[in-house]
Amino acid sequence: MHDFKYKNNELYCESVAVKQLAEKYGTPLYVYSHKTLVDHYRKIREAFRAIKPLICFSMKANSNIALCGILVKEGAGLDIVSGGELYIALKTGVAAKRIVYASVGKTEKEIEIAIKHHIFLFNVESLPELKMIDKVAARLGRRQTVAIRINPDVRLKTHKYITTGHKENKFGVDMETARGIFMNCSRFPHLNICGVHIHIGSQIVDSGPFVKAIEKIAGFIKELEQNGVNIRWFNIGGGLGIIYSNERPQTAAEYAKAIVPILKKIKAGVILEPGRFIAGNSGILLTRVVYVKETAAKNFAIMDAGMNDLARPSLYGAYHNVLPVESASYRPSSKLRSYDIVGPICESGDFLAKGRKFIDLKQGELLAVMSAGAYGFSMSSNYNARPRPAEVMVDGKHHRLIRRRETYNDLIRNELR
């Protein structure tokens, strides 16, 4: 699952003591395991080897240029959702023909830049967007490949904020609208409309919803082909869940076993967009206790990291396991006490975890917020004028800084008096 393990009652990332990283780089600190990151990518690649898909890492999960670059060297393409992610993607050295571009709100300028760089594919979310891409492609004298994102209206068990395949969600078009687009491709002479895209949500732990959505769209693709429409690409998106607490998510092999037989029945090449599955358990957020505050109602461990560093608990009520860097304060004991693990931000909703049990947490103690490699730093902010954390990559016994800690000067760098 990951390479954060205890050795002699002390938490390690691969062969490096996490405490050593805190001493060298300070806290809060994002720490990533190179081995875990690469292993998870390879598991996806191996599971789908029979159909040789294009695997595009979803940069919205983690857009660090060094982290993405590691995956690009492994053979991954990149899934982007903004002009900024396109800029970072190109800096990793990825071939533009291995970049796919999603997002409901691509601007004309973003579209123009992407076409000029010869990206492979746009996942188109609406008819107005389709018209805009055709307009820009015409101006540039190009013919751009696109896929139509279809909203299959599949229900699933996950947080409502990370469902994307319900009919009331803002993403994609309904089946009837998609049918009209494909049957009238000649209206868009500067587009090669030859792909179908779905992405039904995130942190999905069983294959049922995927199977339902893919079967539905596979049937639609066959219908289109019977009507003379050639579908060359089926982008099945991402969404595979990971272990945050006691989940039993499907493995990559189980996921592939459930859907590859369906995909083999259609002629289209397959694109995958995993993000959380690859990066989620590859990273932790390392944070230090600033104060322990005991009240009649509850005990608070006030940390130097908060919702500005890791927004998921405050935003979604998301669960992250929180472990002590030195495990003596975690072992079963009658002295266990319950703590809310909270941040320094001036919001009552600023917490990393609630009701977690430790043995007498002390000022200065280090805690590791687990499974923070996806949607951690990428969702961080400077709220309360707090500089964002540094990021470190560990590879065996070696470690290196892959993002320096922001300074106070960084906070005002773009401001004018």
The conformational region for residue 393 under phi > 0 = left, psi -120 to 50 = alpha, else beta, is beta
Phi, psi dihedrals of residue 185, rounded to the nearest 5°:
-60, -25
So what's the pLDDT on residue 163?
A: 47
> What does DSSP say about strands 283-294 and 29-33: parallel, antiparallel, or unpaired?
antiparallel
pLDDT, averaged in runs of 10, over the chain (417 residues): 92 98 99 98 97 98 99 99 98 98 96 99 97 99 97 62 52 90 96 94 78 91 94 92 76 92 94 96 98 95 98 94 82 78 97 95 97 98 98 99 99 97
At position 20, the amino acid (one-letter code) is Q
Task: Answer whether 4-32+280-411 and 63-274 agree in fold.
Answer: no
| Short-list 331, 324, 336, CA closest to 360 | 336
List the domain boundaries for the chain: 4-32+280-411, 63-274
Assigned superfamily of 63-274: Alanine racemase (3.20.20.10)
> Residue 299, SS3?
strand
Copy the structure tokens of residue 54.
């294009």
For residue 134, what is the enclosing H or E element?
helix 127-140
So what's the pLDDT on residue 167?
A: 54
The answer to whether the CB of 306 falls within 8 A of the CB of 232 is: no
For the chain, state the CA radius of gyration: 23
The answer to whether the CB of 380 falls within 8 A of the CB of 64 is: no
- What is the chain's length? 417
Q: How deeply is 364 buried, as exposed, middle or buried, from its count of CB atoms within 10 A (0-12, 13-18, 19+)?
A: exposed
Specify which residues 57 forms β-bridges with: 78
Q: Can you tell me the distance from the alpha carbon of 149 to that of 410, in angstroms, rounded to the nearest whole number?
A: 38
Q: Can you tell me the distance from the alpha carbon of 208 to that of 188, in angstroms, rounded to the nearest whole number?
A: 36
| Short-list 379, 388, 368, CA closest to 33 | 368
So what's the pLDDT on residue 206?
A: 75
Copy the structure tokens of residue 264.
């083999």
The CATH number, out of the four listed (2.60.40.3500, 1.10.1740.10, 2.40.37.10, 3.40.50.300), of the domain defined by the range 4-32+280-411: 2.40.37.10
So what's the pLDDT on residue 182?
A: 95
Q: What is the model's pTM? A: 0.93
Copy the structure tokens of residue 165.
């395949």
Residue with tokens 């992610």, as numbered in its chain:
85
68 is catalytic: no
Q: Which of 13, 68, 194, 346 does the annotation list as catalytic?
A: 346
Q: Can you tell me the distance from the alpha carbon of 318 to that of 214, in angstroms, rounded to the nearest whole number?
A: 27
